[in-house]
A = this chain, B = another copy of it.
């Protein structure tokens, strides 16, 4: 599982975290990579890198959009949202969608992509009043609530009076339990990450309403993105026109300087950022 660990599990102390990076080719001895081409790579956080051409993946330039989007909403982050909604949850037009941890980089992508794919009502939860406001004012959520100020299990039936068809779970725990209460017959749950369990020192009990999975014919499916990278071309093909038409927005939290990386990472794990956390070098 090591190759997929960065998407799904806590980082062990001493483990190397290699973030993806984006840049432009400034010198090339390869016919396949022209100078000026925008490329993604996994060579770590560095201002200049020299390596074999095949270790760089060209990405398209989109007018008026910074290259950094290939590190999040047009990259793995957006693909994670797309895969969860399509390959895992089988989103249908008109579906009511609930997204937990909706103000994160993945969650903001999920809400917008769901709407573009024809979802009906889209409901999000987030951990502060500011984030909740962003969800409805900026990211196209129809409704949002602050899960730190309500009992999720009491709130969700009010936010989703007609039930939920697709639940995109970034949180687990009380959110999953609340969702199982309100899922409609034939509902699908995409399980992506389990932030709420990251600090658990021992195993915490699962939802007390698992029987609903049977009586309502529900599907729960977890996924790690590494198994769905073949959907990347389809994803970019759909996203590019939405982007060009101004239908997709995003936040970046950019931290300047590699010396601030550790603070940035800890801040992210505490929920201090909105959207993708990036480090500019």
Q: Confirm or deny: A253 has a beta carbon within 8 angstroms of a beta carbon on chain B.
A: no
Instruction: Tell me if B203 and A205 are in contact (CB < 8 A).
Output: no
Is A133 on the interface with B (CB-CB < 8 A)?
A: no
A89 to chain B, nearest CB (A): 11
Contacts of A205 in B (CB 8 A): 205-208
A204 an interface residue at 8 Å Cβ cutoff?
yes
Instruction: Answer whether residue A192 sits at the interface, using C-beta atoms and an 8 A cutoff.
Output: yes
- How close is A75's CB to chain B, nearest CB, in angstroms? 20
Q: Does A197 contact B (CB under 8 A)?
A: yes
Stretch at the interface among A26-34, A38-46, A211-219, A242-250: A211-219
CA distance A207 to B177 in the complex (A): 12
The answer on a CB contact under 8 Å between B213 and A224 is: no
Chain B contacts for A207, CB-based, 8 A: 205-206, 210
Among A205, A209, A219, A220, chain B packs the most CB atoms within 10 A around the CB of A220
Cβ–Cβ contact A172 & B210, under 8 A: yes
* Bound complex: CA A205 to CA B191 (Å): 19
Q: Are B206 and A217 neighbours in the complex by a CB distance under 8 Å?
A: no
Of A185, A206, A218, which is in contact with the most chain B CB atoms at under 10 Å from its CB? A206
B contact residues around A227 at 8 Å (CB): 186, 217
A232 close to B (CB within 8 Å): no
Residues of B with C-beta under 8 A to A118: none
Report the bound CA distance from A98 to B198 in whole Å.
30
Asked if residues A215 and B172 are in contact (CB atoms below 8 Å), the reply is no
Pairwise interchain contact B203-A206, C-beta atoms closer than 8 A: no
Q: How far is the CA of A223 from the CA of B214 in the complex (A)?
A: 5
A1 at interface by CB-CB < 8 Å: yes
Are A191 and B204 CB-contacts (below 8 A) given A219-B219, A220-B219, A220-B220? no
Closest approach, in angstroms, between the C-beta of A233 and any C-beta of chain B? 21
Tell me the bound Cα distance from A192 to B176 in angstroms.
20
Q: How far is the CB of A58 from chain B (nearest CB, A)?
A: 29
B216 and A219 form a contact (CB under 8 A): no
Q: How far is A61 from B104 in the complex, measured between Cα atoms in Å? A: 61
- List the interface of chain A (C-beta within 8 A of B): 1, 8-9, 172, 176, 185-186, 191-194, 197, 203-224, 227
Enumerate 19 A-B pairs (CB-CB under 8 Å) in ascending A order.
Answer: A1-B185, A1-B216, A8-B214, A191-B210, A193-B214, A203-B208, A203-B209, A206-B206, A206-B207, A206-B210, A213-B220, A213-B221, A214-B223, A215-B222, A215-B224, A216-B222, A217-B223, A218-B221, A219-B221
